[in-house]
Amino acid sequence: MEYAIELKGITKSFGPVAANKNINLSLAKGEILALLGENGSGKTTLMNMLSGIYMPDSGSIFIDGKKVSINSPEDSGKLGIGMVHQHFKLVERFTALENILIGMRGEGRVMHGAGVRKKIEDTAAKFGFDIDLDKIVANMAVSEKQTLEILKVLCYGRRIIILDEPTAVLTVQEIDRLFDVLRKMKEDGHSIIIITHKLNEVMAISDRVAVLRHGEYIDTVVTKETNEKALTELMVGRQIELNIDRPVMEKTQPLLEIRDLTIKNDEGAIAIDHINFYIRGGEMLGVAGIAGSGQKELCEAIAGLRKIEEGQMLHEGESIVGMSPKKILEHGISMSFIPEDRLGMGLAPSLSITDNMILKNYSEGKSIFVDRKTAREEAQKVIDRLEVVTPSTETPVRRLSGGNVQKVLLGREIKSGPNVLVTAYPVRGLDINSSYTIYNILNEQKKKGVGILFVGEDLDVMLALCDKIMVICHGKLQGVVNSNHTSKEEIGLMMTGTINIVNKEGKTDGIAKDSAFEKEEGQVE
């Protein structure tokens, strides 16, 4: 087997922490290799050394059989390595063509030369990309931006491509199209490393799977000779049950009612357009939609963080429109919000885990002194229950990994005992073991009668976890479907606006003004 990349004995430490320990890894020419590992297993560090961001403390890197030294991203590029990051590196105000040209060498300096444009168009056609080169990046959908990122590295002549969580914000149909492109790239001789936590995608697209655990190389297996359960055991080091048991609870009156809700985004455009839905106690309602379809604005409005333009929001029959988050708490409305932006919005990164635990209720103390002893005990309970990896309860949150930050945030919100829990991408960036821990915790809350709004991106998980799924497209309701009576394909078509269950069936998901919920149940589900 001819190898595009060989890593031998790669070790990288940051102070006393060894991120990679004696890693041996290979990528064959014309192969798609999936790289798996729990949060903190060293995947990103390893890829950063191939990208020239870090340099190994020891070990050797071989490209096409020759030992090389990668000291910068420029060195990496000259060796034919290109990386598509999870967070896109694009200039929003430039067109697609301009974003490609600014990174080109030599011929790219002729900014709008017909020959350069023709070369880019030929490359796009060769791999089946559908992209408007004159479109401003700020006006692009997420899938278009990702297409542009991949097209960039191909136009730069990269033969070794690293993709970091490439399907995180794509619909089922967009994932299928991406995989078709990757297969064409493989046929053209490209070698691809794909980092993902989605085991079904690993099984669908990869030739081999390499597994890291706690910074150490565990094994590389042939994909067709393994299965999801075996891969999970390699990642975690023990057996993990991958089934999500959805508890079915007795139906109650809605805790949260949304009626004809209209919200604007930060630019003043309509983000949510006259949406109606409700959540009962002991019920989990999933929200599916392409990124930027209004999910963020909806969650912020429910939490009292965004102004309502029109419509009503009722919590246990009481209007909460216009209330501040603090006012909502003062009125005894137990509503918790887990935002998409953990550190920027959910937690104070410079404060310790203990201090973050008391941010929501420090004013409830009976004296001028904050009860840090109780807060420290609560922090320790969260650490123990959710297996948060941290030196102590006094560690600043910014020093934790992304997965552990998420666990701290979820633990704090659940600790407050809400009866409505709003979660936005609660497992984004988490490994499989941590993700299932979160699913189990959410189901525990559901059993206690909590109503849960679950904004997610993995449709397989949403179908298994949620009782109903509400689909929105560009801020408009496409329908609410029963998880037992739908499919990923149908939801994906709704997400893109191809079908509209509400219009197709002549039914409405809206709540009748007389709150006749039982009458509407047949329409919703």
Residue 366's pLDDT band, with cuts at 50, 70 and 90, is: low
Question: pLDDT above 70 covers what percent of the chain?
Answer: 86
Q: Please tell me the CATH code under which domain 3-236 is placed.
A: 3.40.50.300
Coil/strand/helix, residue 36: strand
- DSSP collapsed to 3 states, 180-216: HHHHHHHHCCCEEEEECCCHHHHHHHCCEEEEEECCE
Q: Are 27 and 189 in contact (CB under 8 A)?
A: no
Question: Closest Cα partner for 247 from 482, 414, 466, 518?
Answer: 466
What residue type is assigned to position 132 of the chain? D
Q: Any idea which of 362-366, 442-446, 507-511 has the lowest mean pLDDT? A: 507-511
Side-chain-facing half-sphere of 49: CA atoms under 13 Å: 27
The top-scoring range by mean pLDDT among 222-226, 247-251, 265-269, 357-361 is 222-226
Cβ 38 vs Cβ 213: under 8 Å: yes
Do 458 and 430 meet the contact criterion of CB atoms below 8 Å apart? no
Residue 107 scores a pLDDT above 50: no
For residues 40 and 401, is the Cβ–Cβ distance under 8 A? yes
CA torsion angle for 52, 55, 60, 65 (degrees, to 10)?
A: 10
- The token duo for 119 is 């070369």
Residue 525 has pLDDT above 50, yes or no: no
Q: Which position has the higher pLDDT, 115 or 216? A: 216
The neighbour count for residue 66, using CB atoms within 10 Å, is 9
pLDDT in tens, 322-353: 888 877 666 556 555 666 566 666 788 888 88
Residue 173 or 13, more confident: 13
Mean pLDDT of the 400-417 span: 78
Q: In whole angstroms, what is the distance from residue 316 CA to residue 78 CA?
A: 62
Domain 254-334+418-524: give its CATH superfamily.
P-loop containing nucleotide triphosphate hydrolases (3.40.50.300)
- Look at residue 306 and tell me whether its pLDDT is greater than 60: yes
Q: Is the pLDDT of residue 208 over 70?
A: yes
Domain 3-236 and domain 254-334+418-524, same fold? Reply is: yes
- Helix ranges (H only) for 253-335 are 295-302, 325-330
Torsion of CA 293, 295, 301, 302, to 10 degrees: 140
Whether pLDDT at 360 is above 80? no
HSE-CB at 510 with a 13 A cutoff on CA atoms is 17
Q: Mention every residue, 6+ apart, whose C-beta is less than 8 A from residue 377.
A: none
For the ranges 11-25, 55-69, 416-430, the one whose mean pLDDT is highest: 55-69
Q: What proportion of the chain, given as a percentage, has pLDDT over 90?
A: 34
Q: What is the DSSP secondary-structure string of 125-177?
A: HHHT----TTSBGGGS-HHHHHHHHHHHHHHTT-SEEEEESTTTT--HHHHHH
Q: How far is the C-alpha of 312 from the C-alpha of 257, rounded, in Å?
A: 8
Provide the whole-model pTM.
Answer: 0.69
Domain ranges of the chain: 3-236, 254-334+418-524, 349-416
Q: Which two tokens stand for residue 298?
A: 């909806």
Which of 310, 287, 254 is CA-nearest to residue 478? 287
Q: Quick check: 519 pLDDT over 60?
A: no
Between these two residues, 173 and 265, which has the higher pLDDT value? 265
400: pLDDT strictly greater than 50: yes
pLDDT at position 523 is: 38
Handedness of CA 227, 229, 230, 232 (dihedral sign): positive
508 burial level (CB within 10 Å; 0-12, 13-18, 19+): middle
Greatest Cα-to-Cα distance within the chain, rounded to the nearest angstrom: 75
pLDDT bucket at 96, cuts 50 / 70 / 90:
very high
CA–CA gap between residue 425 and residue 422 (Å, rounded)? 10
Edge-first strand listing for the sheet containing 318-319: 270-280, 254-264, 310-315, 318-319
Residue type, 140: M
Distances (CA, A) of 67 to 61, 63, 111, 199, 265: 6, 6, 36, 33, 51
How many Å apart are CA 411 and CA 46, to the nearest integer? 30
Residue identified by tokens 């949304």 is 258
Quote the CA–CA distance of 12 and 347 in Å, as a whole number.
Answer: 30
Q: Between 216 and 400, where is the model more confident? A: 216
For the chain, the residue count is 525
> What is the dihedral sign for C-alpha 503, 509, 512, 513?
negative
Residue 510, pLDDT score: 39
Give the per-residue pLDDT at 407: 82
Q: Do the beta carbons of residue 240 and residue 66 sit within 8 Å? A: no
Give the strand pairing for 32-37 and 208-213.
parallel
Q: What are the backbone angles phi and psi of residue 468, rounded to the nearest 5°?
A: -135, 155
